[in-house]
Structure 1
Amino acid sequence: MNRKVAIQGIKGSFHHQVAREYFSEDIDILECLSFDILVDSLLDKTVNSAVMAIENSIAGSIIPNYALIDNNQLHIIGEHYVNIHHNLMALPGQKIDDLREVYSHPMALLQCKQFFKQFPHIKLVEDADTAETARRIQQNGLKGVGAIASKTAAELFGMGILAENIQTIRDNSTRFVILQTKNSVLPEEDINKASVKFMTDHKRGSLATVLNVMSDCRLNLTKLQSLPVIETPWKYSFFVDVTFEKYDDFKKAKSLLDIMTESFKILGEYKNAKL
């Protein structure tokens, strides 16, 4: 029986690429046009796993996705990094001068803004997904309209690539997390990264004390993201990623942080994909 995996977007998207690269076995893909729908498909057991973008090396964290993982008690069981290459595409035979509008995901548009400064006649329009935009142009035979998407999308939907690698910064990567409703069963010796969430009290130096404990336990802090606690104005939760060489070091830190912080929670224990 094939593993069923939910992705945000459609086949040909970067989420689809991650699903294919992360899971070596045959998989069935469930296309979801929003992260909320993706989460629902996990919760109602339509799928076993889901792929979710969590941060980009240029645009930073995708803040709402942290809340989705936390609020729905999801577990991060793995991660995957993809170098993002954006391509401008349109129906075969079209040229850049023919385009009046280019549609894509807001993040893709942001990452390619510099390229389009040389084409002031082109209007950039935000859309839900990169690959879906390419598919729509192809299905409806839309002339004068372009999309920013991957080469895989161009191949899948028979689009012509007008310009390759149009992202402003060449070294542009996105981190994706692999989600399940239950925690991973990786052996401890294979776990060298974890995602946790906690709150601290309002005393001076509370966060610094927590970070010092992590350092003393030989944990390397790779991500620190704060989110406001909705019910309590001016109070914040901290989402932290740490790497470590020995699981015992993390185990020691867990026991200390559980005592020192408010609402300490493990979001995932998994294998570091960026070594």
Structure 2
Amino acid sequence: MKDLLELRNEIDQIDNEIVSLFEQRMHISEQVAQYKIRTGKKVFDKERESEKLKTLSSKASNEFIRHGIWELFEQIMSVSRKKQYQLLGAEGMLEKPDFTKVDRLVEKKPTVVFQGVEGAYSQQAMQQFFSEQHDSFHVETWRDAMEAIRRKQADFAVLPLENSSAGIVSENYDLLAEYDAYIVGEQVLKIDHALLGLANADETEIRTVYSHPQALMQCSKYLEEHKEWEEISLKNTAVSAQKVKQDAKVHQAAIASPVTAELYGLKVIKEGIQDNQTNCTRFVIVTADPVYQKDARHIALCLELPHTVGSLYHTLSHFIYNNINMINIQSRPKPDKNWEYRFFIDIEGNLEDEGVQNALGGLKEETSFLKILGTY
């Protein structure tokens, strides 16, 4: 029986041969890319690759090896395609995203729309992003906000996308996929929730608490201490404070920002009731035009994939081979197909980066749907 050292030496020899053969194959792939550059043929030929994989895997001596050959050559072909995309990009053959680069996002006093009423967290995020140089109005729903920019009633809309405690605002991810609107900015807002009531209210008298569903989730530990309270969800935290003021019932309270207490003449019964004291919400600034500031360093994508084994893995590898850092990925059900999903991915980079263009070129060919949601 051969000893371990001898076996390892044999494996090393085989591995060296594999490396040499792989380099030869990649050299031929480059020649294929040059042919495709001259003829305008697409890089990804799914039918040919499927037939090739079937042929190669059929040569295996058993089922385990068959599966391994399929996986190995599927990866080799994927690497080959990425090299071809890079060569196409170097020749200027990849279609560039139809976005306009601008020096400044805001050239004149903009009109900004937010969901809720005065005092809403969306309004606070808007004020931090635009400072005082803007006009604004509020609407009842986030869809109304998207409609406002679509109809050019507002230049920008402010949407919450994700909370550090309660997770994503799924409705707004869906709206970004649905509307021709583009993310151009981001504002992270520290969220401090307080229990607000009438001037003569006391914590022991509260029986009903109003707030947005996410705010109720973010204060779940505090609310768990008061199981006798009825929790009622409303569309906005500030709307909840407004209702408590209008109803004028001492047993009602709202979970909202302390800022709204001043706006609606309510008392802060208890501050800092959120579970996570570093609680933050990420808001995005959205507009109807595909523009981006020249120094933008993040790109948001929405994509749909073939419902096949390994499709997400091969999609993400486009970022790996172009040295792109992925900073966020979320999934949402496709509205027209059960148990199939679209993915929302944030990456680092600028639309002018060569690696970004190569990755986007590959994604466009190999996904069933790709939309650049914006860059900021």
Distance across 1 between alignment mates of 2:160 and 2:292: 22
Q: Equivalent residue of 1:85, what SS? A: coil
3-state SS of paired residue (2:293): coil
Matched, 1:216 2:294: no
Q: Distance in 1 between matches of 2:238 and 2:229?
A: 19
Residue 200 of structure 1 is aligned with which of 305, 316, 337?
A: 305
The match for 1:252 is 358
- Indicate the residue corresponding to 2:81 in structure 1: none
Equivalents in 2 of 1:120, 1:70: separation in Å? 38
**Does the 8 A contact of 2:333 with 2:341 survive in 1?**
yes
CA shift, 1:169, in A, is: 1.7
Matched, 1:13 2:120: yes
Q: Is the 8 A contact 1:91 1:143 kept in 2?
A: yes
Secondary structure, counterpart of 2:123 in structure 1? helix
Asked if the contact 2:160/2:169 (under 8 Å) is kept, the reply is yes
Distance change (3 Å), C-alpha of 1:252 and 1:167: same
Instruction: Tell me how far apart the structure 2 counterparts of residues 25 and 183 of structure 1 sit (CA, whole Å).
Output: 25
Instruction: Indicate the residue corresponding to 1:236 in structure 2.
Output: 341
8 A contact 2:190–2:278 mirrored in 1: yes
Letter in 2 for 1:241: D
Match of 2:279 in 1: 172
Structure 1 position 157 matched with structure 2 position 271: no
Deviation of 1:234 after TM superposition, in Å, equals: 3.5
Partner of 1:77: 184
Q: Deviations over 1:198-234 (max 9, x none)?
A: 2222332121111111122121112212223233343
**C-alpha contact 1:191 1:247 (8 A) present in aligned 2:** no
- The structure richer in strand per residue is 1
Superposed CA deviations along residues 170-211 of structure 1, whole A, max 9, x for unmatched, are 221111111111022411xx1210111122223321211111
Cα drift, residue 32 of structure 1:
1.4
Cα pair 1:6 1:32 within 8 Å, conserved: yes
Residues 23-38 of structure 1 mapped to structure 2, 5 A cutoff = 23-38=130-145
Task: Using structure 2 for the length normalisation, give the TM-score.
Answer: 0.68
1:114: how far off? 1.2
**Residues 48-95 of structure 1 deviation map (CA, whole Å, 9 limit, x = unaligned):** 100001111122111221121111111111111112110001011211
Higher helix share: 2
The answer for the alignment partner of 1:107 in structure 2 is: 214
Structure 1 distance, partners of 2:338, 2:198, is: 50
Give the distance between the partners of 1:126 and 1:221, measured in 2 at CA: 34
Does structure 1 conserve the Cα–Cα contact (< 8 Å) formed by 2:198 and 2:249?
yes
**2:200 and 2:250 in contact (8 A); partners too:** no
Assess if the C-alpha contact under 8 Å between 1:74 and 1:182 holds in 2.
yes
Deviations 1:121-155 (A, max 9, x none): 32211111111111222234232110111011111
- Describe the SS at the equivalent of 1:143: coil
* Equivalences, count: 268
* 1:55 aligned partner: 162
8 Å contact from structure 1 (residues 218, 244) kept in 2: no
Q: CA RMSD in A?
A: 1.7
Q: Which has the higher contact order (CA 8 A, sep 6+)?
A: 1
State the alpha-carbon separation in 2 of the partners of residues 142 and 194 from structure 1. Answer: 48
Q: Give the AA of the match of 2:211.
A: S
Computing the radius of gyration over CA atoms, which structure comes out larger, 1 or 2?
2
Instruction: Find the aligned partners of 1:140 and 1:122 in 2 and give their Cα distance.
Output: 17
C-alpha distance in 2, partners of 1:119/1:228? 35
TM-score when normalising by structure 1 = 0.91
Distance 1:25 1:160 in 2: 27
Per-residue deviation, 1:25: 4.2
User: Percent identical across equivalent pairs?
Assistant: 30
Which of 230, 238, 249 is residue 123 of structure 1 equivalent to?
A: 230
d(CA) in 2 for partners of 1:119, 1:59: 20
